[in-house]
Amino acid sequence: MSSKQAIGVVGLTMGFAFAGSALGSIRITEWMYNGAGGTAREFVEITNTGGAAIDLTGWSFDDNSRTPGSFAIGGLGILGAGQSAIICEPTEAAFRSAWGLSAAIKIIGGNTNNLGRADEVNIYDASNTLVDRLTYDDQTIGGPRTQGVSGNIRLANLGANAANLAVVSSVGDAYGSFASSLGDIGNPGTYSDIPAPGVLMLAAAGGAVAARRRRD
């Protein structure tokens, strides 16, 4: 394969990847296990990283027991393009108050499948199909220890189950992290790495056209 052909294949592959994102894709983007004080404050953030809304009716969450349906998250409803939602251990009201989050942020509280220092986050769709998984353990896998300080998944690593490449939150960082009233640090409810849906669609079209031109 010539270098030009190789570039064309890469461009086409990128085009398909962006096209998939433009259609809608739920990814785990941030997580934190029990807060520094040991109380029930942990959370998982999921984000629709694509350009189309996704109805979460019938979807569920589980930890390392990997059992679809363990904790229903369908109450989050429809997640728009680029929109994030929170699955947390505290009640919705308690979590929203601690982080000062507006009513616009989707939150479902009361999760009883609690996370530990070495654990897993599994998201399942309405057909009980695994949509995304994040296995983490700072002692064996590497990456940040997320007790009371959240970990963020970079755009390039979304869906790759690469907790070792996660970025720990710090106040005022590129993710807009801040301290909650309880002293935890994170940025629940928003994900700043994802480009606007229109950018994804243009990239998909551009990648496919570039590949086609090189092939002709």
Say if residue 48 is exposed, middle or buried (CB neighbours under 10 Å; 0-12, 13-18, 19+): buried
pLDDT at 35: 72
**pLDDT band at residue 193 under the 50/70/90 scheme:** confident
Average pLDDT over residues 141-152: 97
pLDDT above 80 (res 158): yes
The ranges assigned to domains in the chain are 25-195
pLDDT above 80 (res 167): yes
**pLDDT band at residue 145 under the 50/70/90 scheme:** very high
Tens of pLDDT, residue by residue over 123-133, are 999 999 999 99
If one looks up domain 25-195 in CATH, what number appears? 2.60.40
Name which residue leads in pLDDT, 175 or 17: 175
Paired tokens of 63: 């930890």
Name which residue leads in pLDDT, 37 or 143: 143
**pLDDT band at residue 180 under the 50/70/90 scheme:** very high
In the chain, where do the E strands start and end? 26-32, 43-48, 54-55, 60-62, 71-72, 78-79, 84-88, 106-108, 118-124, 130-137, 151-152, 167-168, 178-179, 185-186
pLDDT at 202: 42
Distance CA 160, CA 213 (A): 30
Tens of pLDDT, residue by residue over 90-120, are 999 999 999 999 999 999 999 999 999 999 9
Model-level pTM? 0.82
**pLDDT band at residue 197 under the 50/70/90 scheme:** low
**pLDDT band at residue 196 under the 50/70/90 scheme:** low
Instruction: Confirm if 153 and 159 have CB atoms less than 8 A apart.
Output: no
Interacting residues of 155 by C-beta distance below 8 A, sequence separation 6+: 193, 194, 195
